[in-house]
Homo-oligomer: A and B are copies of this chain.
Amino acid sequence: MERIRLDIEYDGTNYCGWQRQKEELAIQQVIEEAIDKTQGGNCTVEGSGRTDAGVHALNQVAHFDSTCTIPPESWRFVLNNILPPDVRILKSAKVQNDWHARFWVKDKTYKYVFHNSRVNTAIKRNYSFFVPYRLDEDKMKRALEDLIGEHDFDAFMSRKSQKENTVRTIYSARLERARDELYLYVTGSGFLHNMVRTIAGTLVDIGRGHLSEDTFKKAIENKDRIILGITADAGGLFLHHVNYFNSMEEKQRARGEI
Taking beta carbons and an 8 Å cutoff, which residues of A are in contact with B? 9-11, 56, 58, 76, 80, 85-91, 119-123, 125, 127
Residues of B within 8 A of A56 (CB): 123
Partner of A58, one of B76, B85, B123: B123
**A9 touching B123, Cβ below 8 Å:** yes
**A85 touching B122, Cβ below 8 Å:** yes
Question: A254 → chain B, closest Cβ, in Å?
Answer: 31
**B11 touching A86, Cβ below 8 Å:** no
Which single residue of chain B is at the shortest CB-CB distance from A84? B122
Name the residue among A58, A86, A121, A123 with the largest chain B CB count within 10 angstroms.
Answer: A123
Residues of B within 8 A of A122 (CB): 9-11, 85-88
Question: A134 → chain B, closest Cβ, in Å?
Answer: 18
Residues of B within 8 A of A120 (CB): 80, 85, 88
Selected A-B contacts with CB under 8 Å, 29 pairs: A9-B119, A9-B121, A9-B122, A9-B123, A10-B122, A10-B123, A11-B122, A11-B123, A11-B125, A56-B123, A58-B123, A76-B119, A80-B119, A80-B120, A85-B120, A85-B122, A85-B125, A86-B122, A86-B123, A86-B125, A87-B122, A88-B119, A88-B120, A88-B121, A88-B122, A89-B119, A90-B119, A91-B119, A123-B127
Residues of B within 8 A of A121 (CB): 9, 88
Residues of B within 8 A of A88 (CB): 119-122
8 smallest CB-CB distances across A and B, nearest first, come from A88-B122, A9-B122, A11-B122, A11-B123, A86-B122, A10-B122, A90-B119, A85-B125
Name the residue among A10, A87, A88, A91 with the largest chain B CB count within 10 angstroms.
Answer: A88
Residues of B within 8 A of A119 (CB): 9, 76, 80, 88-91
Residues of B within 8 A of A86 (CB): 122-123, 125
Question: A145 → chain B, closest Cβ, in Å?
Answer: 28
Which single residue of chain B is at the shortest CB-CB distance from A89? B119
